[in-house]
Structure 1
């Protein structure tokens, strides 16, 4: 059997008692052999009794922990950093150890560590859904606030663990729960997580869009603008966030956008403001119902106009260029005035359908009369196939692929190795 590395030897010498078994020696050491990674587990007495890697499973570690606890070790006793066995079991996702420690009197909501967190907080930070479920069943309180002022759902949002967020909400956690500074999960997501998630995920649970924090009196939209979070701004505008709410300094989201000089967000907010004003018009409300049809008709007209101008019986490129500029300017003005910003994403689809339409018209009018009908069948089938697969791609839910924790580790061995080494070094001082 391969001898332990220097780090493993040092740790084996420095760790004594129950912590050897229940903390460090529960870790995994990965050794690179050629292009492969072998996983080996070490127990407390490895330097005296080497363990076969094939037999060093978690069941053996559990039994050793049971022996030490049954011998009189107090499961509530924290180490010198005020961290309990329950915390270590939670962060390493050891379900059997959690059940055993709680059965022996471990306090499920005991605070510990530098962040004054509960074992549930540790599990949520790591995204261990199975551990979160178990701790809640054992009576853990997700509403408790850690040293940073975050409750369980706030931590799940900051670390972007959507399954944990969904589970906490399903168990009664309010989506509008506030942290120590009065921020809701939606505010934290808009401020600290650049990207569409978990902001979009939280919006599905109908959170309050007008809620403000205790200090700055900012809404989620204020925080998204301050952070330059374009995705969150777009999602919050689509959800109907109020543009006129002022914070403690009397600033609206648009005022903040101008302060940070974010041109894109300024454009988004001003366009949204104009669109909301226009929605009071009956004509605009009628056009809004048929925006995609309007986009398709506009793209059809634009492509026809371009072809017509290029085919003009004139040698003046100045005339043709001027007409093209006029057409493009008119199209741009039309879309800005009558199409909402969020619906401009359909413009590429409208142009694609327009291209297929004019391609088909050209084929049937100019080519089909001069060829055999049998020669036109491949073209017809190709167009039908294109439209069918375009529709399926657009409208069909692609679903998702389930992957276990073990499979994830196999797919990212280097990342797992780095995590394990970091955990070992962090715990070296105990």
Structure 2
């Protein structure tokens, strides 16, 4: 079909992308097409076919990688991912367009079996994507508790900060993932760790109005009067962020009680 198309296109005087656009995608790998265009000196069409061939090969490889990522993320499909890694056709540390590894995909969906298969094949448990997010960060944001537990047991950096949410505990505080925060704190996460603006998880929980998260962090010793880089305490953040008086009053009551227990002194941000 490709050879006949080449002849017909040549007879009609079509060249380049105009001639090739109506062809089957098989033209990209059919050397007879190049031969036909070459015989009539159609360099433009030869160039198009050559570029299309490499483009198709690229997309084929990209689609194969996407299928690998999907298999790692999907329960019951891990076997095909393991087979691909065992054959050497794909690496456990292969990356997608935005720098996500297969571990990121499995963590996002909470597929612990997929995570275990990848780690067993040498996947980097602390791999970072283009926004510096680790698989643990992905699992935290999605509230994938079992994945969080497994990644921590596999050596994930509990304080790995990214460009989106800060540390895993901060990511949990932003989204009121109280159960995830409990696991992180039990595993040794710093309750008063700060981001680039000097905010702690308590500041972030106050900004979002997450009462259960606020209560957990205060119970675990978060400094209620710690000021951020702008000199704002969590109570200041609560006042600035909320017009809902009921939520705001509850937060202020909790923070002031905890602050009184701390001695009532405003703390400077960490150096």
The alignment's TM-score, normalised by the length of structure 1, stands at 0.44
8 Å Cα contact 1:195/1:231 also seen in 2: no
**Matched residue SS, 2:263:** helix
Alpha-carbon distance, 1:243 to partner = 2.2
Aligned partner of 1:264 in structure 2 is 250
Is structure 2 residue 110 aligned with structure 1 residue 131?
no
8 Å Cα contact 2:125/2:155 also seen in 1: no
Aligned partner of 1:11 in structure 2 is none
Cα 1:141–1:134 change in 2 (3 A) is same
CA distance in 2 between counterparts of 1:277 and 1:249 reads 22
8 Å Cα contact 2:148/2:180 also seen in 1: no
Partner of residue 230 from structure 1, selected from 211, 218, 228? 211
CA distance in 1 between counterparts of 2:67 and 2:165 reads 32
CA distance in 1 between counterparts of 2:187 and 2:254 reads 24
Alpha-carbon distance, 1:149 to partner = 3.1
8 Å Cα contact 1:195/1:230 also seen in 2: no
Alpha-carbon distance, 1:244 to partner = 2.8
CA distance in 2 between counterparts of 1:260 and 1:102 reads 49
Aligned partner of 2:263 in structure 1 is 277
Partner of residue 180 from structure 1, selected from 146, 158, 163? 163
- What does the per-residue CA deviation read over 1:103-140, in whole Å, with 9 as the maximum and x for residues that have no partner? 22112111114x43111111111110011011011011
Aligned partner of 1:53 in structure 2 is none
Residue ranges of structure 2 left out of the alignment (5+ in a row)? 1-24, 27-56, 243-247, 265-271
Aligned pairs (5 A) from 1:214-363: 214=196, 216-261=197-242, 262-277=248-263
- What does the per-residue CA deviation read over 1:318-360, in whole Å, with 9 as the maximum and x for residues that have no partner? xxxxxxxxxxxxxxxxxxxxxxxxxxxxxxxxxxxxxxxxxxx
Aligned partner of 1:146 in structure 2 is 129
CA distance in 2 between counterparts of 1:276 and 1:247 reads 17
**Matched residue SS, 1:172:** coil
Cα 1:256–1:186 change in 2 (3 A) is same
Alpha-carbon distance, 1:218 to partner = 0.7
The alignment's TM-score, normalised by the length of structure 2, stands at 0.68
Aligned partner of 1:108 in structure 2 is 92
8 Å Cα contact 2:133/2:164 also seen in 1: no
**Matched residue SS, 1:197:** helix
CA distance in 2 between counterparts of 1:118 and 1:174 reads 16
**Matched residue SS, 2:232:** coil
**CA-atom RMSD, angstroms?**
2.5
Alpha-carbon distance, 1:181 to partner = 5.5
CA distance in 2 between counterparts of 1:197 and 1:264 reads 21
Aligned partner of 1:211 in structure 2 is 193
**Matched residue SS, 1:183:** coil
CA distance in 2 between counterparts of 1:195 and 1:144 reads 23
- What does the per-residue CA deviation read over 1:2-50, in whole Å, with 9 as the maximum and x for residues that have no partner? xxxxxxxxxxxxxx99xxxxxxxxxxxxxxxxxxxxxxxxxxxxxxxxx
Larger Rg: 1
How many residues get paired?
A: 202
CA distance in 2 between counterparts of 1:195 and 1:119 reads 24
8 Å Cα contact 1:195/1:229 also seen in 2: no
Alpha-carbon distance, 1:153 to partner = 0.6
